[in-house]
Chain A
Amino acid sequence: DTEVTQTPKHLVMGMTNKKSLKCEQHMGHRAMYWYKQKAKKPPELMFVYSYEKLSINESVPSRFSPECPNSSLLNLHLHALQPEDSALYLCASSQGLGLYEQYFGPGTRLTVT
């Protein structure tokens, strides 16, 4: 099973709201990732977790706050977002930080109004 699940599938939020995106994998992978994808562009890396610890933060604004409660779960907490943050948010996982393939979830389509 190579499934990564994400909830919700769609999310509309105002600029003053607080919401969270959730990601789950049961492949025993020890690295998990958040990406942001704008229309007609490749995904852009936001955060990397390895063994439940934040490994990489690609200079993402503090209104995005990641959390890794355990080895299977990854959350992305959202607060005071801007309309330009509207995008598809993708979660991925891999066996580790080496040259392994990453498996992606279906994404959350976020619209900020």
Chain B
Amino acid sequence: GNSVTQMEGPVTLSEEAFLTINCTYTATGYPSLFWYVQYPGEGLQLLLKATKADDKGSNKGFEATYRKETTSFHLEKGSVQVSDSAVYFCALRGYGGSQGNLIFGKGTKLSVKP
């Protein structure tokens, strides 16, 4: 079945550091891939998406590239800010038994220190 594996945190960085959160997936065919962010006490916000191989999703300085050959969708940001502190979820929607349900990774908590 479809699944998502992302690096477990917590990840602690200093302000202006480079961020990478790894995400790999298992799925039939070509799923759509997403990163969601959840700030403390809030719901999930769609951060970025990619719908086909080699697509690059980007938003608010974050980027992720859909790599079919490595089944990966790693999240990157060149210079993190304190306001980026949150939990980040990698997710996919694919074909097969999940009927296109959203499959989440376990989440990675990011803390950015000033």
Hey, which bits of chain A sit against chain B, CB under 8 A?
2, 4, 6, 40-43, 45, 48, 55-56, 88, 90, 92, 97-107, 109
Minimal Cβ-Cβ distance residue in B for A97: B100
- Establish whether residues B100 and A99, one from each chain, have CB atoms under 8 Å apart when the complex forms: yes
How many B residues, CB 8 Å from partner? 24
CB of A70, distance to nearest CB on chain B (Å): 22
- Establish whether residues B51 and A42, one from each chain, have CB atoms under 8 Å apart when the complex forms: no
- Establish whether residues A104 and B49, one from each chain, have CB atoms under 8 Å apart when the complex forms: no
With A90-B43, A90-B44, A104-B43 already in contact, the answer to whether A98 and B100 are too (CB < 8 A) is yes
Contact partner of A40 (CB less than 8 A), chosen from B45, B94, B107, is B107
B contact residues around A97 at 8 Å (CB): 99-100
Q: Is B101 an interface residue (CB 8 A)?
A: yes
C-alpha spacing A10/B47, complex, angstroms: 25
With A42-B107, A99-B32, A105-B43 already in contact, the answer to whether A56 and B101 are too (CB < 8 A) is yes
Minimal Cβ-Cβ distance residue in A for B93: A99
Minimal Cβ-Cβ distance residue in B for A40: B107
The A/B interface has a contact count, at CB < 8 Å, of 57
A contact residues around B41 at 8 Å (CB): 109
C-alpha spacing A97/B98, complex, angstroms: 11
CB of B14, distance to nearest CB on chain A (Å): 24
* Contacting residues of chain B (57-114) with chain A, CB-CB under 8 angstroms: 89, 93-94, 99-102, 104-107, 109
A contact residues around B42 at 8 Å (CB): 106-107
Kindly supply a per-residue 1/0 record for chain B positions 2-46, scoring 1 wherever the CB is within 8 Å of any chain A CB and 0 otherwise.
Answer: 000000000000000000000000000001101010000111111
A contact residues around B36 at 8 Å (CB): 104
CB of B3, distance to nearest CB on chain A (Å): 12
